[in-house]
Structure 1
Amino acid sequence: MDEKATLHHYLRTRRTQLLAKLDGLGEYDIRRPMTPTGTNLLGLVKHVASVELDYFGEVFGRPSGRTLPWFADGAEPDADMWATAEQTRAEIVELHRFAAAHTDATIEALALDAPGVVPWWPEERRNVTLHRMLVHMCAETAQHLGHADIIRELIDGAAGQGPNDPNLSRRDANEQSAYVERLEAAARAAASPAG
């Protein structure tokens, strides 16, 4: 695989993994804020799709034709980070798939050194290449996938990429409880004053 194909592969994989975080959950669980800042699963999917459309559309002069009202002047701050009751899961998932297809077409059409301009970035950083935007979007998607991993674990205990994820330790419930207790004890010991 060449460098462009490798980056594209990583982006596609992380997109799929992010969408999978919604699997098996009801409407409340995919929407409810799980952190003090309001981070939620469906909002993460909406955000990633939205920024991907801009980064691989407007930045390279390849507009998608899709209007995102949450990015309009005067829109509510952070409106791309959550779904209203009227916005359905199906609509947000479709937006994610639409953004992915639009991005894939841009990546396939352009060379890695193709120039672009990110008008909302500071002047000294706004001139970019497809390569830079691919790296940026891989990093952004992976960051939000990490958020989604933690949120999903908080909701129902599902961790990583499922029960066969080779990066997860294999522990039964008792072993897992003992492991967490060891971590808690180590944290308390490290925090207590010596002496």
Structure 2
Amino acid sequence: MRGVDDAQARRRTTVSELTLGGIVRHLAQCEEAWTRIVVEGDGEAPEGMLDMEQYRMGEAHTLAGLLERYAAAARGTEEAVRDVTDLGRRVPLPVTPWSPPERQFWSVRRILLHLIRETAQHAGHADIVREALDGANTTARR
């Protein structure tokens, strides 16, 4: 996101609907939701988890604000995990349109690995979007 302004963060640069700002917003919301799933442990979908608007950077959003939200979400995850004494503890997952109909359970460890995978996947998306935007990527500055 280095050197990207709000207008650039909202700009689509590929056939995908993804934008740099939308990716950051989604990752922040994703991390908040999965941390809540671990902490609450009630199997309920956190508010906004299924909201497809999380992939869009609206006019009311700023990149700085979204990056701060993402940093706060990461701090929240760190705090929550610090209190977990057993990473093997099984947590009920929310039933979602893409999940099997019967309740699924993941360990806290698997949820954390899912967050890492989700972040890595979208970091790759962001790299492609950024390269199409101005030629920069994770190893070459523009």
TM-score normalised to structure 1 length = 0.61
1:60 equivalent in structure 2: 39
Cα shift at 1:144: 0.1
Give the 4+ runs in structure 1 shifted more than 4 A: none
- CA-to-partner distance for each residue in 1:96-150, whole Å, 9 max, x for gaps? 0111011111222112112212213434462111111111111111000000011
Letter in 1 for 2:90: P
What secondary structure sits across from 1:28 in the alignment? helix
- Among 121, 128, 137, the residue aligned to 1:143: 121
**C-alpha spacing 1:43/1:101, structure 2 compared with 1 (3 Å):** same
Cα shift at 1:28: 1.4
2:24 equivalent in structure 1: 45
Cα shift at 1:38: 1.1
Letter in 2 for 1:104: E
**C-alpha spacing 1:106/1:161, structure 2 compared with 1 (3 Å):** farther
Instruction: Indicate the RMSD between aligned Cα atoms, in angstroms.
Output: 2.4
1:97 equivalent in structure 2: 71
Counting aligned pairs with the same residue, the percent is: 30
What secondary structure sits across from 1:49 in the alignment? helix
User: Residues 43-192 of structure 1: matches in 2 within 5 Å?
Assistant: 43-61=22-40, 71=48, 78-110=52-84, 111-119=86-94, 120=96, 121-124=99-102, 126-162=104-140
C-alpha distance in 1 between matches for 2:139 and 2:102: 38
Letter in 2 for 1:41: L
Q: For the Cα contact (< 8 Å) 1:149–1:160, is it kept in 2?
A: yes
Cα shift at 1:43: 0.4
C-alpha distance in 1 between matches for 2:69 and 2:49: 17
Letter in 1 for 2:55: M
Letter in 1 for 2:56: W
What secondary structure sits across from 1:128 in the alignment? strand
Q: For the Cα contact (< 8 Å) 1:48–1:141, is it kept in 2?
A: yes
TM-score normalised to structure 2 length = 0.82
Letter in 1 for 2:77: T
Q: For the Cα contact (< 8 Å) 2:127–2:138, is it kept in 1?
A: yes
Higher helix residue share: 1
**C-alpha spacing 1:106/1:25, structure 2 compared with 1 (3 Å):** same
How many residue pairs align between the two structures? 134
Greater CA radius of gyration, 1 or 2? Answer: 1
Q: For the Cα contact (< 8 Å) 2:30–2:49, is it kept in 1?
A: no
Q: For the Cα contact (< 8 Å) 1:60–1:117, is it kept in 2?
A: no
C-alpha distance in 2 between matches for 1:40 and 1:159: 14
> Where does structure 2 lack aligned partners over 5 or more consecutive residues?
none
